[in-house]
Amino acid sequence: MVFDAIALSVGDNVATVLRAVSAGDVLRVKRGDTIIELAAAESVPMGHKLALGDIASGAPIVKYGTTIGEARIAIARGAHVHVHNLRSRRAAQRAD
Amino acid sequence: MGEFLGYRRPDGRVGVRNRLLVLSVGGLTGPAARRIASSLRDAACVVLPYEAGLIGDDKAIHDRAALGLAGHSNAGAVLLLGDNPKVLEQMAGQIAPLGKAHAAISMDGCGNDVFEMVARATRTGARLIREMSRLRRSTVPLSALTVGLECGRSDPSSGLVANPLLGRVADALVDAGGTAILGETLEWLGAEHLLATRARTPEVAADIVASVERREAAAVAAGVDLLGTNPTPTNIAAGLSTIEEKSLGSAAKSGSRRIEGLLGYAEAPRGPGLWVMDAPAYAPESLTGFVAAGAQLILFTTGVGNSYVSALSPTVKVSANPETCARLDGQLDFDAHAGFLGQEAPKALAERLLATLTDVAGGTPTWGEILGEGDEVVSRFGAAL
């Protein structure tokens, strides 16, 4: 089975890309045991994450079937998900 | 599989190496200890830089770690060096029941003459090596192994492939009656609820959660933003975004078996099975915590590459990042990139890594041993006088 990105749990809303991806690339994403197709909205370096659907600002980001933080801003399907739009919910130092 | 060739020690424990441990108890004799060890074959040098002025819990933990290293089963003999003859005498008295060859040489005993110390200790060390070298390896069960589980300079391939791979090997070791230790408390943050569900008792579950909360509170109290600390800038560049994400990948090293209990730093497990150690995450401190607790081997995953290994316990380096495996050929002991590319099934990878682990246990050197890497660093837990 050939795929370009992987989400280990079916409940994940992000997938990890297994190769560097360019905007417009149509990716085969292994999500649990199935393959879905998704267009990358922007370039994503190998090993980084991409949104599997639209994610509202403040909504949890889920990887490994578990919350890894929340969206700082609204994130569109196919977008790169990293420290610019995802933040930890733990050990928070922020005033807001 | 199921057995390996090891060194049976008089106290019943098993070593995977037969080294002369040159242990400097205190930093004053550290440079001399390094010169002595460098001139003797099969010597491993460990320098404990702190000694006089340690107090309270910091001293208690330091002394436990020092004794754990001095009595380590990978050492067939021990040469203790230091400035304080009383400290050496006490330590020699504590390792005597283990039945291994040892000697202690102090600065006072050498008239504070470093030339005299190096000459006497080198002669004594040579005699100890001759004596310990008479021991031969014999077949021992896998259950004799205690393995520390570490990751460092991680990337997303660590959490997706390499750490779950260590988890499968940890499961196999535990099922065989062996012992595995997960440390790096901060890297349970965000995964602690999952670890807690595997605890042997509700008390152990509460210990796990409380130890994470203490680290989290310490970070907040110190005004530290974990982003850029843990995950590190290296982790972030590689694609890890939050401590929770890193932790979920990191905790996968522990596999799926029951967690027997929470250990303090450098505290030996009270029986076989999977244990967790409340300890700093930085590899030099973390590895020494495992080694001083009795781990004879370390399994250590890396994403982008990490050359650090233990001085006393062979450290098997594993990576699943295809680019890292190609770039660091000759520095990584196990190439798991086929797992990252979906070309090798998790079960096959785990069987191959367990075979590598038993091979190293039986005497095949790791790249870290061949390259002469290796150190031990005992954590500090308070200010000295």
pLDDT at B200: 98
Nearest CA in chain B to A9: B160
Query: CA B10, CA B325: separation in Å to the nearest integer?
Result: 40
- d(CA B365, nearest CA chain A) in Å: 31
- d(CA A33, nearest CA chain B) in Å: 13
pLDDT at B235: 94
B-chain residues within 8 Å CB-CB of A89? 244
Render pLDDT for A53-96 as a digit per residue (tens, 0 to 9).
Answer: 999 999 999 999 999 999 999 999 999 999 999 999 998 755 44
> Are B321 and A47 an interchain contact pair (Cβ–Cβ within 8 Å)?
yes
pLDDT at B229: 87
Please state whether beta strands A86-87 and A66-71 pair in parallel, antiparallel, or not at all (unpaired): antiparallel
- d(CA A84, nearest CA chain B) in Å: 9
Q: Are B19 and B376 in contact (CB under 8 A)?
A: no
> Are B156 and A92 an interchain contact pair (Cβ–Cβ within 8 Å)?
no
The region that residue A55 occupies, defined by phi over 0 for left and psi between -120 and 50 for alpha, beta otherwise, is beta
Evaluate the omega torsion of the peptide bond into residue B231 and state whether it is cis, within 30 degrees of 0: yes
pLDDT at B173: 98
* Residue type (1 letter), B279: A
The Cα angle at residue B10 between residues B8 and B16, in degrees rounded to 5:
30
> Are A87 and B243 an interchain contact pair (Cβ–Cβ within 8 Å)?
no
- d(CA B199, nearest CA chain A) in Å: 19
A-chain residues within 8 Å CB-CB of B227? 83, 87-88
Q: Which of B157, B239, B248 sits opposite A45 (nearest CB)?
A: B239
Q: Which of A46, A81, A93 sits opposite B223 (nearest CB)?
A: A93
Query: CA B35, CA B44: separation in Å to the nearest integer?
Result: 11
B-chain residues within 8 Å CB-CB of A30? 342
How confident is the prediction along chain B (385 residues), in pLDDT tens digits per residue? 589 999 999 999 999 999 999 999 999 999 999 999 999 999 999 999 999 999 999 999 999 999 999 999 999 999 999 999 999 999 999 999 999 999 999 999 999 999 999 999 999 999 999 999 999 999 999 999 999 999 999 999 999 999 999 999 999 999 999 999 999 999 999 999 999 999 999 999 999 999 999 999 999 999 998 888 889 999 999 999 999 999 999 999 999 999 999 999 999 999 999 999 999 999 999 999 999 999 999 999 999 999 999 999 999 999 999 999 999 988 999 999 999 998 999 999 999 999 999 999 999 999 999 999 999 999 999 999 9
What element of type H or E holds B105? strand B101-106
Q: What's the token pair of residue B242?
A: 């939050």
CA distances from B263 to A35, B206, B308 (A): 42, 13, 23
> Are B216 and A90 an interchain contact pair (Cβ–Cβ within 8 Å)?
yes
A-chain residues within 8 Å CB-CB of B191? 66
B-chain residues within 8 Å CB-CB of A81? 241
What element of type H or E holds B341? none
Query: Could you tell me the pTM of the whole model?
Result: 0.96
Nearest CA in chain A to B217: A91
B-chain residues within 8 Å CB-CB of A46? 239, 323
B-chain residues within 8 Å CB-CB of A6? 160
> Are B189 and A87 an interchain contact pair (Cβ–Cβ within 8 Å)?
no
Q: Which of A63, A72, A85 to mutate to test the interface with B (most CBs of B within 10 A)?
A: A63
B-chain residues within 8 Å CB-CB of A86? 241-242
Q: What's the token pair of residue B223?
A: 């005004």
- d(CA A89, nearest CA chain B) in Å: 8
Q: What's the token pair of residue B239?
A: 């694609």
The Cα angle at residue B128 between residues B123 and B130, in degrees rounded to 5:
95
B-chain residues within 8 Å CB-CB of A49? 156, 239, 241
> Are B220 and A66 an interchain contact pair (Cβ–Cβ within 8 Å)?
no
Average pLDDT over residues A17-27: 96
Please state whether beta strands B179-182 and B273-277 pair in parallel, antiparallel, or not at all (unpaired): parallel
Would you list which residues of chain B are within 8 Å, Cβ to Cβ, of chain A? 155-157, 159-160, 189-191, 194, 216, 219-220, 223-227, 236, 238-239, 241-245, 248-249, 303, 321, 323, 340-342
A-chain residues within 8 Å CB-CB of B194? 66
Q: Which of B220, B236, B340 sits opposite A91 (nearest CB)?
A: B220
